Amino acid sequence: MKSDGSDSDVSIKVGNQKGRKKRMTKKKTAPKIGKTVKYGKSTDRFLYNSSLKEDHNDHIFSVTFDPFVHPNQNQIFATVAKNGLRIYECKKDRTTPIHVFEDPDKNENFYTTAWGILEGDPILAFAGFHGCIRVLNISKRIICRHLIGHGAAINEVQFHPVQRRLLASASKDLTIKIWNIYSEVQVFICGGLHGHRDEVLSCEFNQSGNLMASCGMDHMIMIWNFDSKVAKLAIKAADVFQLQHSKTSFPTTTLPPIYVTRDIHSNYIDCVRWYGDFIFSKSCEHEIKCWEPDLSKPNEINPSPPVTALMSISLPYSPNWYVRFGLDRYLQYMAAGNLNGDMYVWDLDVFAKNSKSKPLVLTHGKRTAQCRQCNFSSDGSILVGVFDDSTVWRYDLNPRYKENHEPAVNGTTNRHTNGQNGHHNSEIPPLKSGASSNGPIKSLAKDQMQELKTSYTQNGDSLHTYGKDMRSVSQVANTGDSDLSNTEPKEEPMETSTMDLSGMPQLEPATVEAEPAVEQPAKKIKMDPDFENDKNG
């Protein structure tokens, strides 16, 4: 890809697997922004709890929490690195590994994961270098879906917030595909003539699910609409389509964007998140910007009207791409990491009142690697960051702040159905729009948070519970506390499972060169016989 003259030296290379790792050579020349200052106190709103080091000695690209965990159970989160997916349980004073699943292909490198539900069971969708989406049934410990259709690496997967059968995947092949994981068909292809012109790095649905934002290496942010008559008919058709009994393929619909802008950033845009009707987006320019798209006159062909950022949040020492920030469920806190291993936490309520307010910076002497992603638990009480040195760091919300951060109704969270349709029993209503493009963001954030809190239900019978059943199946490793605060990082032993890949078609590598195979840890997995015969045949 040729630079258009506005890219920095650290982000003009093609976004292949080797390119991701070469960014680390730029650490010594990372630009300095102002004076290096440790903002706030480490004992303010978030307190250090525990940390651990995974046994692969490689980058951890993603961390996501299970949003459906029962409120009376410990929080559960998953990480992906190399060809493995690891699941952890957040206990009171430590983080315990539950299980690790490894792909038989040693050249695979997973970049992203997302939690969902399928026929009442918790599932994890994860994908990466080879462009195949695997869907893991957590309860049964099997790969229940293989979604193949992208022509290159997949950078992010996101489930629809209301219609849980729909899964979005942003890829290096310049498209975002929307899948129905129940019928295993491609419902939409978001791309084409008016789509992205380079690798798509991030995508996310808004809270009501009728819009999706995407961004990528072309410096563009696009918005896609799923509320049209054509889109609604396609979604209904995909629900009843039976791939195995049909003589024809599903008629996938190609959607154009309804909004396109290049006015916000002048470099790679690697993360985009909705904030009600506003959007937070991040680029390799040491800042995160908040802005409001004008969707009053959506236009699928002509350029969208110019837009300017409402506010800019500084994130020092952030020249690398593929670094993602996280927002908590109540839209109160935002967290992001940088090249030096620092984790920045902003209280958006405070920042909306005073844009000069300083964030809380979580630092540690033993943590100097690039932070790839920060994410909050479903109740907002836990913050986890993952790093390039294969470490996982956990911080807990200070107990004195929990009272103002918990839902209005005790023991509540988003519900899902135990039936077979994979949809929520109760949909979250659309968020209100209460601020103009020139006005403060504070009023909108308050309305959003209050509506989110009051939309929860007291009935939590259908929520996931990770009790004795799951632990007996996955054989939780009794490793004790893995604390990096006073000792060198140590590797956590984990039980390894075989992915059940029987019946899976042979996968062709993506159109980029894979790195030489790296020697695997001592613990090996048993190859599934059907998969082995499939590859050798």
- The full set of domain ranges for the chain reads 44-295+304-537
295 Ramachandran zone, left/alpha/beta (phi>0; psi -120 to 50) = alpha
Is pLDDT at 414 greater than 60 in this prediction?
A: no
> Average pLDDT of 112-127?
94
The residue type at 354: N
What's the mean pLDDT when you consider all of the chain? 75
For position 217, what pLDDT does the model report? Answer: 97
Cα–Cα distance, 148 to 189 (Å, whole number): 13
- Residues in CB range of 246: below 8 A, 6 or more apart: none
For position 226, what pLDDT does the model report? Answer: 95
For position 357, what pLDDT does the model report? Answer: 86
b/e code 76-111 from CB counts within 10 Å (16+ = b): bbbbbbbbbbbbbbbeeebbbbbbbbbbbbebbbbb
Which of 470 and 122 is assigned the larger pLDDT? 122
3-state DSSP assignment of residue 48: strand
User: Three-state SS string across 319-332, please?
Assistant: CCCCCECEECCCCC
Listed ranges 110-114, 468-472, 484-488; the one with the highest mean pLDDT: 110-114
Is pLDDT at 417 greater than 70 in this prediction?
A: no
Contact of 94 with 108, CB cutoff 8 Å: no
How far does Cα 464 stand from its chain's mean position? 20
> Average pLDDT of 438-445?
33
pLDDT in tens, 41-87: 445 789 999 999 999 999 999 999 999 998 789 999 999 999 999 99
b/e code 247-272 from CB counts within 10 Å (16+ = b): eeebeebebbbbbbbbbbbbbbbbbb
95-102 and 496-498 as β-strands: parallel, antiparallel, unpaired?
Answer: parallel
Both tokens of 184, joined, read 């295993």
Cα–Cα distance, 502 to 529 (Å, whole number): 8
Contact of 179 with 159, CB cutoff 8 Å: no
Residue 90: phi and psi, rounded to 5, are -90, 100
Contact of 79 with 90, CB cutoff 8 Å: no
Which of 132 and 432 is assigned the larger pLDDT? 132
For position 520, what pLDDT does the model report? Answer: 39
Q: Which of 108-122, 255-269, 469-483 has the lowest mean pLDDT?
A: 469-483
Which of 514 and 364 is assigned the larger pLDDT? 364
**Taking the CB of residue 502, how many other CB atoms lie within 10 A of it?**
13
For position 210, what pLDDT does the model report? Answer: 95
The vertex-170 CA angle with 165 and 174, nearest 5°, equals 135
Residues in the chain: 537
Both tokens of 194, joined, read 């008016």
Cα–Cα distance, 432 to 273 (Å, whole number): 17
For the four alpha carbons of 333, 168, 59 and 488, in that order, the dihedral sign comes to positive
Band the pLDDT of 266: cuts 50, 70, 90. Answer: very high
Cα–Cα distance, 12 to 25 (Å, whole number): 14
Closest CA to 276 of 306, 310, 308: 310
List % helix, strand, coil for the chain (3-state, nearest 5): 10, 35, 55
For position 329, what pLDDT does the model report? Answer: 92
> Average pLDDT of 382-401?
93
Closest CA to 11 of 24, 27, 23: 23
Residue 25, classified by CB atoms within 10 Å of its CB into exposed (0-12), middle (13-18) or buried (19+), is exposed
Cα–Cα distance, 455 to 407 (Å, whole number): 10
For position 405, what pLDDT does the model report? Answer: 52
Closest CA to 38 of 318, 341, 398: 341
For position 91, what pLDDT does the model report? Answer: 94
Residue 284: phi and psi, rounded to 5, are -85, 40
> Average pLDDT of 224-240?
93
b/e code 152-179 from CB counts within 10 Å (16+ = b): bbbbbbbbbbbbbbbbbbbbbbbbbbbb
Band the pLDDT of 203: cuts 50, 70, 90. Answer: very high
pLDDT in tens, 483-519: 444 444 444 445 555 454 444 444 443 443 333 333 3
Q: Which of 72-86, 215-229, 431-445 has the lowest mean pLDDT?
A: 431-445
Both tokens of 461, joined, read 């019978």
> Average pLDDT of 108-114?
97
For position 508, what pLDDT does the model report? Answer: 43
Largest CA distance in the chain: 65
3-state DSSP assignment of residue 26: helix
Q: Which of 260-274, 386-400, 441-455 has the lowest mean pLDDT?
A: 441-455
Q: Which fold has domain 44-295+304-537?
A: Methylamine Dehydrogenase; Chain H (2.130.10)
Please tell me the pTM assigned to this model. 0.72
Cα–Cα distance, 88 to 63 (Å, whole number): 10
Cα–Cα distance, 505 to 384 (Å, whole number): 36
Band the pLDDT of 257: cuts 50, 70, 90. Answer: very high
Which of 408 and 89 is assigned the larger pLDDT? 89
Contact of 518 with 87, CB cutoff 8 Å: no
**Taking the CB of residue 12, how many other CB atoms lie within 10 A of it?**
17
Is pLDDT at 360 greater than 90 in this prediction?
A: yes
For position 351, what pLDDT does the model report? Answer: 87
Q: Which of 138-142, 277-281, 392-396, 484-488 has the lowest mean pLDDT?
A: 484-488
**Taking the CB of residue 518, how many other CB atoms lie within 10 A of it?**
13
Q: Which of 56-70, 247-261, 402-416 has the lowest mean pLDDT?
A: 402-416
Q: Which helix (H) or strand (E) holds 470?
A: helix 468-474
pLDDT in tens, 288-321: 999 999 888 766 556 667 888 898 999 999 999 9
Cα–Cα distance, 103 to 527 (Å, whole number): 9
